[in-house]
Structures are given as structure tokens and as C-alpha cells.
Chain A
Amino acid sequence: MKKSAGVKEQKPLSLKEIEERHEATSGTWQLRLYVAGQTPRSVAAFANLKKICEDHLAGRYDIEVVDLVKHPQLAAGDQILAIPTLVRKLPQPLRKIVGDLRDTERALVGLQIRPAAMGE
């Protein structure tokens, strides 16, 4: 909570927008991480995601890990090609981040936790 408030202070405008939209739906960030078995890359991706969420969305997120080796039929639903892929189901609109999320800045931009405009 504290940390998320801190985030709010940093960039109140864009996040506010997303938050507002998000508030209208359910309130939590629904994230789904597609992996294929326990590969080092999958493990790294999950660890990176966990960290980002804890840092920026603590208490307001929900991570579902889908192992396509176990459930291959689930790949088509979210149009998964690349592994690992993180799908932001909520808030809308749907976003996908491909890769092991090791570049936190880009991951934040991808998840729209941090606006791309910040770079200006």
C-alpha cells in the first residue's frame, strides 16, 4: 500500500487514469504468466514479475502462472507464441509483454504502470 502510494506521488496523472479505469472494473490487476516448464528463463520471468508487482502493485495484483507444457490447449486462447509471455488481463485493455522481464523499466512501461511519456 505504501509503496503504491509512493508510485502515485511519482506520476500521479497517468496512473490516476489507469487506476480510475481499473477501479470501475474490479480493482485488482489480473496478470497471467505463460511459461513452458521450469526453464531458467521461466523461473527468472516469474521472479522478475513477482518483484515488479511487489514493488508497484503490492496487494492489488493476482498472478496466474500457466505452464503450457501441462496445458498446451491454453496457448491458443491468449494467442501465445513466445515464452515467457505476461498477459495483463485486467485492467483493460489487454497487454502482452514478451520476455523474461529482466528490464524492469520496460516491463513497467509495458504494463503501463509507468507511462512511456516519462522518458521525455
Chain B
Amino acid sequence: MSKVGIRMTKPAQEMDKGNRSLPKAPTGIQGLDEITGGGFPRGRPTLICGSAGAGKTLLAMEFLVRGATQYNEPGVFMAFEETAPELTQNVRSLGFDLDDLGKEKKLVIDFVRIERSEIDETGDYDLEGLFIRLTAAIEAIGATRVVLDTIENLFAGLQNQGILRAELRRLFRWLKDRGVTAVITAERGEGALTRHGLEEYVSDCVILLDHRVTDQVSTRRLRIVKYRGTAHGTNEYPFLINEDGFSVLPITSLGLQHQVSGERISSGIARLDTMLGGEGFYRGTTVLVSGTAGTGKTSVAASFVDAACRRGERSLYFSFEESQGQLIRNMRSIGLNLEQWTKKNLLQFHSSRATFYGLEMHLAMIHKIVQDFQPKVVVLDPIGSLIQAGNQRDAHTMIIRLIDFLKQREVTAFLTNLTSAGEALERTDTEISSIVDTWLFMRDIELAGERNRALYVLKSRGMAHSNQLREFLLTPQGIDLLDVYVGPEGVLTGSSRLSQEAREKAAALARQQEAERRDRDRTRKREVLEARIAALRKEFELEEAEAETSSAQDLSREQSVAENREAMSRSRKADMVAEMVKDGVVAKGRRGAR
């Protein structure tokens, strides 16, 4: 057997060297084409193995249906387990109408029944009958895709294993030679990929489906075990089966190639916009609001949604804790009428308990709703509860995938996260703080017998944001952000802030009154002084006038004395002396006037 394996390996590898990218047959299944690099290998068989109920038949059927409907590749479904009516019925719930496809000659279902009890074997035989049936079916509709589900049933129906294995090898070779893209399903075996070692024959592409239940939550996973000639994702990818069929969720394939917008959108809280560089968030970024219980995370989210709806943008609100009615009622108490937006179909609420589905189901559900509703804003409140649906690591990867998905669509994501008391405050359960663009942090400030809310912008990429703590007030008119009191007594909020403010006001008033009083005093003093100055001046003027009068009197007295003396000397005839005396009198009079 191993010899054959080697013989089959060599040509395949040689071919790969020459042709780097193998031709692929797209499956049309969401996500699967991404991780397989375009689909299953065209013209070669692909093996899908997995335990019972893993979704093998469904994956195979969807491959055919999508091939027939989307890629114009008709297909043959050879069923070894279920009859055509059973299959038709089973996949009808996924929106596939096999009857219609059959009528349009795009699909043939051939049911092969092998009843061991009615078969005896004697002598040599081959499986030419199977080949003939397959040929007939392929030729009837020109099929390029073939599914054999589950060919291993032949092992139960036929005894001669030697013949069977030889014939299977011939079958797979024959399928390759015909150039049909075949999918073969097989049951998972103990310690091996398949129960009957089919992987020996199908060596081009092997896909393993797994269905696990951990902590009562089931998760389906898909892994590409082998894909010759193709660089494929090697991870286990979660997948799910819902009303749209199969979808695989590639974790890493989304990448970081999304478009970036420079547009800014309001947070719905004017003061918060001011804190965020004056304009709010960037469109298409991820905003995280984290904080302890009751700090108003949901209210901030609701304000944001309200603002988006006001701009006429569609918004989605995923709530994992509150129902739509409860949210609408609660938000009315802070002056937000969200009901009007739901009526205008601008806002949709989706409330479900996180534990209701597994993480993958949540993710797929969100994907689907986002694709259908085409929102501009998506709120997830709170993301931490998703951990309950899985474990921390899974929740982490899921949220990263979700954020990437939303970023690619330029949807602004608004996540809330509850920080439990006693934990480091600036952390999130899901460790996603590093991938969010804006992180608003809300906390309690307990002081003077009361608890108040405070908000600050912990980070906001690409903008100059405020570094200050603001007091966060929920009023019937909406959310208000106030400056907190920062003084020698520390940060004060609530009534402490109010009383501090009152005290400051009183002190200021006192200071003002004091200044006014001093002003008045000064004015009075000046008035008094000025009055005194005026009085002194008057006094001086009086004295001056008096002095002038008295000196004039002196002068006239001197004059009269001189005149008298002149008269006397004239009478005594003393001319010379009279001349001398005259001069001396004048000098004397001047000295006295000074």
C-alpha cells in the first residue's frame, strides 16, 4: 500500500513545481475558499473526514449546490447512506432546493444501497457497476463535480477487501483521469483519519471536521490536514452550520488591509467630543468603554447610537444582558428616545444571552446581521460576557476577528467591558485593550460618603485627546461631563465638589468685599488728605497776603520815617547825610520783605 502511496506522491510534486498555483474549484462556502486559497483542487479528489454528525454530508452537498448555482458546474451526488428524498429534505432547511436543481439538470442524486444480508459473493468481481452508474450520471448533466458520500459503506456491504481496495484505487484514479473535482467523505477512525484508510487513496487534499463539546457548549472546527501544492491555513478554524449553510470563520485571513477614514463622528456627548480633540471618534475605529459596574457604560453607548441615528446612520446594538424593552426604558430616563429610531428602522437591537450559543454562532450571527443590515455603527454590550460562551482565549480571538470584520466594512465598533471590582482597573477580561483605537475609562470615585462617576480618555489613537478626568453626570436631559475639582484636597466630585465650590465662592466673595472696603478707605483717605492740603494752601495764601501787607506797611512806614528825617534834615540843612540815609533805608526795606 505504501509503495502505491509513494508512487502517487511523486508525479503530484513534480507537477506542483511546474505549476505553482493549482487550478482550484471554488466551493462558494463562506470562509472555506479563503483558507484553501481558492477552493478544492480542481480535477482531483478531496477527502473530507470527521465523526458522525460533523457535517461532512452537508459540506459535500453545499459544494455541489454552490457549484451548480454559482459557478455553473453541475454535480453528481452519489449517496451511500441517505436516499435522495431524505437528502432533499435535510438540506431544504438550508435553503437548497435539490428538486429544482435536478429539474434544471444541474444536480443528480444517485442513491446506492448495499444490503449485506441479500448479497452473497462467489468468485471474482469488480465494481464496474458503480463506474457505469457514475459515468451515466456525469454524462447526463455534464457534471464536473462529484460527491461520494460515504463510499466507506462499501466496506460494510462487500466482503472481499482485496477487490474493494483495488477497485477504490481504480475509482480515484478514474475520477482524476476524467478531470472531475471529487469530494469523498469518510468516517473518522480510531487513531486514524478514516476508518478504512481512505486517506491512502486520496492524497491531494484532506479536510478534517470536528465537533467538540466543551463546558456544554459545542464548537465545530475544520482543519486542512493536507493540501498538496497549496499553502493553506493550518489552524483549526471554527465553522458553523446555520440557515445559510456552512460557513468557516478564518481567524487570521482577514488581515489588516482595511481602508482608513479620516472622518470624525460625534460620540453623542458634546463634552466628550471636546475631550477627543474636539471632533469625536474616527469613523471605522473601535471604541472600548470599560469600567466597573454601574459607571454608565451602557448610557455612553446609547448616546453614541442616538447620535448616529440622528445623523441618519444605521446602528446595531447587540446586548448580551438587557432586552430591547429594558434598554429603551432605561435610556429614556437619561433623555434618550431610542424607540423612535427603531421605528424608523435606523436602529436594531439584538438581545441574546451570551451562553445561548457558542462563540462561533455568535460571531456568525453578528456577521450575518451586519451583512444584512449594513450598519455604520455596531455596539456590543458587554463583550466580557462572551467569555461565558467560550473560554477567554476563544473569546479573545473571536473579538479580534469581529473587530477586523467590522473595520473592513468601515463600521465603527463600540464595545463595553465590565471591570470587576478588585481587578486591575485598566484591563479587560478579553485582553483586547491593545487592539482598540479609543479607550474610554469610567470609574467610581468614592468620597465623603458618596460614589460618583468619572470618565477619562485612556487612549485615543491619532488625535490629541484630553488627559483630564471628568465627572460624569447622568441627568434627565442626558449625559453631562463636568470638570472635577482638583485642588490641595485631591480630586473632588459630587457634593464634595459642590461644597468645595461653594466654599471657594464664599471665600472669593469675602476677598472681593475686602478689596472693595480697602478701595473705599483709600478714597476717603485721599479725600481727607486732599481737603487738608487745600486748607493748608489756603492758610499759606492767607499768611502770604498778610506778609505782603505788613511789608508794604513797613515800607510805607520807612518811607514816612525817611520823609520825616529828610524833612528834618532839610530843616537842619544836612544834604550829604540825607543822600546816604536814603540808600540805606531802601536796602533795609528789601531785606524785611523776604
Contacts and interface: CB of A to CB of B under 8 A. Distances in A.
| Residue of B115, B128, B135 with most chain A CB atoms under a 10 A cut-off | B128
B125 A100 contact: yes
B122 A103 contact: yes
Given A69-B132, A79-B113, A96 B118 contact: yes
A83 B126 contact: yes
A85 B125 contact: yes
Contact of A81 (B118, B122, B136, B154): B154
A73 interface: yes
A75 B122 contact: no
Given A72-B135, A98-B122, 15 more contacts: A44-B123, A68-B128, A68-B129, A80-B129, A81-B154, A84-B125, A94-B118, A98-B120, A99-B122, A99-B123, A100-B125, A102-B123, A103-B122, A106-B121, A110-B122
A94 B120 CA distance: 12
A118 interface: no
B123 A100 contact: yes
B6 interface: no
Nearest to B113: A79
Nearest to A39: B128
B168 to A, nearest CB: 12
A24 interface: no
Given A96-B118, A96-B119, A75 B124 contact: no
A94 B117 CA distance: 11
A41 B127 CA distance: 12
Contacts of A97: 119-122
Contact of B158 (A80, A98, A100, A110): A98
A105 to B, nearest CB: 9
B129 A41 contact: no
Interface string A82-98: 11110000000111111
B80 to A, nearest CB: 10
Contacts of A79: 112-115
Interface string B50-89: 0000000000000000000000000000000000000000
Given A81-B127, A83-B126, A100-B125, A75 B114 contact: no
B133 interface: yes
B239 to A, nearest CB: 33
B166 to A, nearest CB: 13
Contacts of A48: 123
B136 to A, nearest CB: 4
Interface residues of A, number: 34
B126 A41 contact: yes
A81 B120 contact: no
A107 B119 CA distance: 11
A96 to B, nearest CB: 5
Contacts of A102: 122-124
A43 interface: no
Interface string B96-138: 0000000000000011111100111111111111101101100
B126 A72 contact: no
B412 to A, nearest CB: 57
Nearest to A42: B128
A109 B119 CA distance: 11
23 contacts: A34-B129, A36-B128, A41-B124, A69-B132, A72-B136, A76-B110, A76-B133, A79-B112, A79-B115, A81-B127, A81-B157, A82-B158, A83-B127, A83-B128, A83-B129, A84-B125, A85-B125, A85-B129, A99-B124, A100-B122, A102-B123, A102-B124, A103-B123
Contacts of A103: 122-123
A57 interface: no
Interface in A51-66: none
B112 A81 contact: yes
A78 B6 CA distance: 38
Contacts of B136: 72-73, 75
A41 B113 contact: no
Contacts of A109: 120
B132 A36 contact: yes
Given A68-B128, A85-B125, A95 B118 contact: yes
A110 B136 CA distance: 30
A101 interface: yes
A81 B123 contact: no
A109 to B, nearest CB: 7
A2 B127 CA distance: 38
